[in-house]
Structure 1
Amino acid sequence: MKELPPFEIAKTRLSPLEKIGQFFMPAAFINDTEEEIQALETLIRDYGIGGICFFHSRASAATNFEGKKEVIRNEESFETLKSLIKRYQSASKYPLFIAIDAEWGLAMRIENTPQYPYAITLGAFSGKEELIYEVGKNIAQDCLAAGIHWNLSPVVDINNNPNNPVIGYRSFGDDREQVTKKALAYIKGTESLGALTSIKHFPGHGDTSVDSHLGIPVIDKSKKELLENELYPFQKIISEGIDAIMVGHLSIPALANGKDTPASISREIITDFLRGQMHFKGVVISDALNMHAVSKNYSVPGELEWLAFHAGNDILCFAEHVKEGIETIAKNSTEKQLEETFERVWKLKEKAMGNPNQDKFTKLSKSEELNRKIAKESITLYKGSEEDIEDFDQKTFCTLTFQRSKKSSSPEEILSFLTEATQEIKNEKNILLLLTPPKVKPANHFGFLKAEIDFINTLLEEKNVVLYHFGNPYSLKLFDIKKSLATVLVYQDFTEFQDMATEHFLGKIKANGKLPVSLT
Structure 2
Amino acid sequence: MLKLNKGFCLTLIISLNFIALSAFAQKESYIQSLNTQNRWVDSVYKSLSRKHKVAQLLFIRAQTNKGKVYEDSVGKVIKDQQIGGLVFFQGGPGRQANLTNKYQKLAQVPLLVSMDGEWGLGMRLDSTTSYPYQMTLGAIQDNNLIYKMGQQVAYDFKRLGMHINLGPDMDVNNNPNNPVINYRSFGDNMYNVAKKGIAYFKGMQDAGLLTTAKHFPGHGDTNVDSHFDLPLLPYSRARLDSLEEYPFREAINAGISGVMIAHMNIPALDSTKHLPSTLSRPIITGVLKDSLRFKGLVVSDAMEMKGVTKYFPNGEADVKAFLAGNDIIELSENSDRAIKLIRKAVRKGLISQEEFKTRVKKVLAAKYWAGLSRRPQISPVNLSQDLNSQAAKDLVQQLSDAAVTLLKGSSASLKLNPFVKTAIVSIGVDTHTVFQQELAKNFPNCRLFIVAKNAPAIEVRNITNWLKQYSQIIVGVHDTRLRPQSKLDYSSDVRLMIADLASRKNTIMSVFANAYTIAGLPGIEKSNALMVCYQMNPELQKSAAKVITGTLKPTGKLPVSVNVFFPTGTGIGLQ
The partner residue of 1:343 within 361, 370, 376 is 361
- Partner deviation per Cα, 1:186-231 (whole Å, 9 max, x = no partner): 1111112211111111001111122111222222221111121111
TM-score between the two structures when normalised by the length of structure 2: 0.80
Alpha-carbon shift at residue 100 of structure 1 (Å): 0.2
Matched, 1:267 2:281: yes
Deviation at 1:108, TM superposition (A): 0.2
Distance 1:243 1:55 in 2: 22
Q: What is the identity, as a one-letter code, of the residue corresponding to 1:476? A: I
Task: Give how far 1:414 is off.
Answer: 5.6
Aligned length, in residue pairs: 491
The residue aligned with 1:331 is 344
Aligned to 2:93, which of 78, 94, 101? Answer: 78
Deviation at residue 391 of structure 1 after TM alignment: 5.3
Distance 2:227 2:221 in 1: 16
Match of 2:333 among 301, 317, 320: 320
**Residues 101 and 153 in structure 1, CA contact (< 8 A), matched pair in contact too:** yes
Structure 2 counterpart of 1:196, which letter? L
Partner of 1:398: 423
Q: Is the 8 A contact 1:144 1:358 kept in 2?
A: no
Q: Deviations over 1:88-130 (max 9, x none)?
A: 112212100100011111000001101111111111122x221
Give the partner amino acid of 1:351.
Answer: W
Distance 1:447 1:108, change over 3 A: farther
- Residues in 2 aligned to 1:200 and 1:125: alpha-carbon distance in whole angstroms: 21
Measured at CA, do residues 198 and 306 of structure 1 come closer, stay the same or move farther in structure 2, by a change above 3 Å?
Answer: same
Give the corresponding residue for 2:43: 9
**Structure 1 residues 29 and 353, CA, compared in 2 at 3 Å: closer, same or farther?**
same
Q: Which residue of 2 aligns with 1:20?
A: 54
Q: Does 1:511 align with 2:554?
A: yes
Residues in 2 aligned to 1:488 and 1:212: alpha-carbon distance in whole angstroms: 33
Name the CA distance, whole Å, in 1 between partners of 2:103 and 2:46.
Answer: 25
Q: Is the aligned partner of 1:423 residue 2:462?
A: yes
Q: Tell me the alpha carbon deviations over residues 43-77 of structure 1, each in whole angstroms, 9 at most, x when there is no partner.
A: 11111100010111xxxxxxxxxxxxxxxxx6xx1
Return the letter of the residue paired with 2:204.
T
Q: Does 1:388 align with 2:413?
A: yes
CA contact (8 A) 2:396 2:539 kept: yes
Q: Percent identity?
A: 34
- 2:444 aligned partner: none
* 3-state secondary structure, aligned to 2:465: coil
Q: Which residue of 2 aligns with 1:240?
A: 254
Shift of 1:320: 1.7
Gaps of 5+ in 1: 57-73, 407-411
Distance in 2 (CA, whole Å) between partners of 1:84 and 1:449 is 45
Q: How far has the Cα of 1:461 moved from its partner? A: 5.6
Q: Is the 8 A contact 1:434 1:470 kept in 2?
A: yes
Displacement of 1:444 after TM fit? 8.9
Letter in 1 for 2:261: V
* C-alpha distance in 2 between matches for 1:419 and 1:356: 67
Indicate if the aligned counterparts of 1:106 and 1:114 stay in contact, CA closer than 8 A.
yes
What secondary structure sits across from 1:433 in the alignment?
Answer: strand
1: distance between equivalents of 2:376 and 2:210?
Answer: 11
TM-score by length of 1: 0.88
What CA distance in whole angstroms lies between the structure 1 residues aligned with 2:489 and 2:326? 36
Residue 106 of structure 1 aligns with which residue?
121
Q: Does 1:45 align with 2:79?
A: yes
Once residues 319 and 298 of structure 1 are traced to their aligned partners in structure 2, the CA distance between those partners, rounded to angstroms, is 12
Q: Which residue of 1 aligns with 2:169?
A: 155
Q: 1:479 to 1:276 in 2, by over 3 A?
A: same
Change (3 A) 1:203 1:444: closer
Q: 1:379-398: CA deviations, max 9, x gaps?
A: 11112333222258786442
Question: 1:359 and 1:18 mapped to 2: Cα distance?
Answer: 24
SS at match of 1:229: helix
**Preserved contact between residue 367 and residue 373 of structure 2 (Cα < 8 Å):** no
Instruction: Report whether the alignment pairs 1:435 with 2:477.
Output: yes
Taking the aligned partners of 1:296 and 1:81, their CA distance within structure 2 comes to 32
Letter of the aligned partner of 2:409 in structure 1?
G
Whether the aligned pair in 1 keeps the contact of 2:256 and 2:296 (CA below 8 Å) is yes
Aligned residue for 2:333, secondary structure, equals coil
Cα shift at 1:488: 0.5
2: distance between equivalents of 1:242 and 1:287? 17
SS, match of residue 425 in structure 1: helix
For the 8 Å contact 2:110–2:372, the answer to whether it is kept is no
Alpha-carbon distance between aligned partners in 2 of 1:117 and 1:514, rounded to the nearest angstrom = 15
Change (3 A) 1:212 1:452: farther
Asked if the contact 1:253–1:260 (Cα under 8 Å) also holds between the matched residues in 2, the reply is: no
Report the Cα distance in structure 1 between the residues aligned to 2:496 and 2:39, rounded to whole angstroms: 63
Q: Quick one: distance in 2 between partners of 1:198 and 1:432? A: 42
